[in-house]
Structure 1
Amino acid sequence: MMEPLRKEFDQIKEKIEQLKESLDLKDEQIKTLKESLVFKKDQVQTLKNNSQYQKSQIHKLEELIKTREEQMESMKEKMESVEKSPNNEVQLKDTIQEKDEKIDDLEAQIEELKQNLNYKKEKITELKKDMEDSDTNIIDYTNIEISKAEILEKMEDILKNSINSIMICVPRITDLERLSLFDLKSSVAIKISCLVNMKRTDHVDLFKEFRDMGTVSIRNYEREDRYIIMRDNEELLFALVGNQEENHLAFYTTDSKHLKEFNPIVMDTWLRSKKI
């Protein structure tokens, strides 16, 4: 009688184990979906930020076009006034020619601005389409505009949380002026890789200022191809310079595994830099 009961008990136990495994699998799937949703939200926010930046640029261009058109109208009015004045014919011709040249120049500027404006509007349309049609979590950075100013602003935000150490790479030493390095605590060790041209006075002056801080080590990195900041091995921003001025492949992470995998790349930048 005990044998059938034991067999039934074993079967029930096996089913329980199977259910546990199934639950664990579901938990893992839920975790993966949650991470995917977070990444998706970040992607949409990136696209929204770029769209807002483009709209801001369009507004500036529209204001500039309006100003140029007003200047051109003013030139025409002055020219008409000169034509009616009792000045001699030679002076009149010279003045008219000068005004014509200025008007031509303004018209050329307006045309260039309008072309730039149309380009910006096309970029916004592309970004909106990306936001609507995006079916993948893999972001295509080929045409996404992430400016140098945005990268340095994010680097500054990371810098403020420094406790023990900071690793930085920027294209040129003058880019460091955008970061509040002088406000950091004396306990924070700072390693910097960047282009330092010892033939340029502004580069030399900045190098001496940072060197005199006592907590900063600077090496010469001549490639001018990346922005990096790693804070206390807890935060990483990595951006590569693209073909276009405002196109950077940039990402930010606090994931410990990401940090571990990218740490050798960050260190390689420092090790390949030359001592000054």
Structure 2
Amino acid sequence: MDALAAVDAFAAVDAAQALARAVAGVDALAAVEVAELDAAGLGAFIVGLHRLADRLSGITHRAVGVQGRTAAWRGQGARSHKQWLAQRCRLSPGEAAGRARTAQRLEMLPETAEALADGRIGGGHAGVAAQAVADLPPKAASGLDQLVVEEGARVDAGRLQTAVDDYAHRAAPESLAERERRAWDHRRLRVSRTAEGAVALDGRLDVLGGETVLTALAALSAPGGTEDDRLPEQRRADALVTLARQALDGGGLPTVGGVRPHLTVVVPLETLH
């Protein structure tokens, strides 16, 4: 039997036929002339697409969870579940591992998985739940499951995270401390130069360190008036440079080899003429 046919929500319907009908529906959506929609119609279309994407994500994770639990991927040319996902779904190894991990965790939260699949909560809510359940003892999972479904229907993922943190602190104080310790252990920052000479940053910070950086960036990345056409990520990049420049100009940085850190700019001679 095709692994896709194991999706339990479609037990009474042939999965291949259901998928074919869904593809036909997506084709119809793709054919909509969105430029011809009025403001209200375009807004409703976008909201509907977003909710549909969340529902499809829920159904996909449910199928991936069944596939992982039953090892239905075996015998199909892959050495692991995440390798099967990477090969068949065109995912990077990291994306495939994350998809399999989230699906496995959502199997511990059946009400959350169902709410995602039927559109009562979004993918962000499910992500908060999947991360939290990994840090909680099994006895606390059902309470988390109920909390996510009830709160997720009313608040965004950020506010849900706060509610989940409060619940984790009450239900298992040690779990929150463990998550913070793990975040601290995994902190990193990679800095490299691109072929064009630009600087690329990649990293993650612990909870307190991250909030410190976010607070500083927020103070310096507000739009500079109505004519400021920078994207939010561009404003944050400029804010980071401003922080570094202020640190250099402030004179408080330790010396390196007896020399105060300073910036040297090299420009072509013709630029000065």
TM-score using structure 1 length: 0.27
Q: Which has the larger radius of gyration?
A: 1
More strand, by proportion: 1
